Amino acid sequence: MTGALLLPAPFTHVGLDSVGSTNDEARRRVADGTAADLLVVTARRQTHGRGRRGRVWESPEGNLHASFLIRLDRPLAQAAQLGFVAAIAIASALEELVPGADVRCKWPNDVLAEHRKVAGMLLESADDGWLVLGIGIDVERAPPPGESLYAAGALAELGFGGEVGQVLVALCRQLGPWLECWRRDGFAPIRAAWLERARGLGEAALVRLETETLTGQFAGLDEDGAMLLDQGAAGIRRIFAGDVFFPGS
């Protein structure tokens, strides 16, 4: 997928071969003045793909590595909401590409199919009000067991026989309307759509933070997208960043 693919409007595309990280390539465009709203930078492979919380993101050829430049038209504090917008779009695209698969959104920004993580995202801010939304979807290959914090899978294992370009087009077809919905109506409809597909709602959860591990029941999302962890007598705790596990299932 090198060169430019014709994507559904209003997305435009630049396809690269091998890069360190597509998020860095997108940020470079902000720095050199060639950024455009909804420009998507993809690469066939990344040599230094980044995951959340400083982790490495395995980026072999055959998987989707895409970074979307997004113009933020509201306070930076609301930027994290975009992760939920993207999660719903990815989940909707996967439902189309792998019919019948059980697709779920997992807090904060993962998408699971058949209980395995197949997609993740990394949202970074850049200068002058730009955001970079990096999305990785394991199309052909999942990371080897033991190299991923969560059970991981690839679309190919679920019967998807298409190509990365097809996944990108399906993703853009969903992301466009969901972004428009967020820009027009705010976070409430996004939150509702995410909760409809949430992994583990009402279940016992274990949340690993930087310095402590919490347990409780996953009780929902607050108005900003923070995870609500019901700790019984200790009350409801709002979680802003962490790794979530559901030990019971």
Where do contacts with ligand BTN occur on this chain (CB under 6 A)? 21-23, 46, 49-52, 55, 57, 65-67, 110, 120-122, 134-136
**Which residue number, 151 or 192, has a Cβ lying nearer to ligand BTN?**
151
Please give the Cα distance from 173 to 110 (Å, whole number).
19
> Please, what is the minimum distance in Å from the beta carbon of residue 107 to ligand BTN?
12
Specify the DSSP element, H or E, that contains 185.
helix 164-185
Name the CA radius of gyration of the chain, rounded: 17
> Please, what is the minimum distance in Å from the beta carbon of residue 22 to ligand BTN?
4
Please give the Cα distance from 152 to 96 (Å, whole number).
20
**Which residue number, 137 or 193, has a Cβ lying nearer to ligand BTN?**
137
Which position's Cβ is nearest ligand BTN?
120
Closest CA to 109 of 44, 53, 173: 53
> Please, what is the minimum distance in Å from the beta carbon of residue 215 to ligand BTN?
23
**Which residue number, 23 or 92, has a Cβ lying nearer to ligand BTN?**
23
Residues in the chain: 249
- Cα angle at 40 between 39 and 44, to 5 degrees? 155
> Please, what is the minimum distance in Å from the beta carbon of residue 185 to ligand BTN?
27
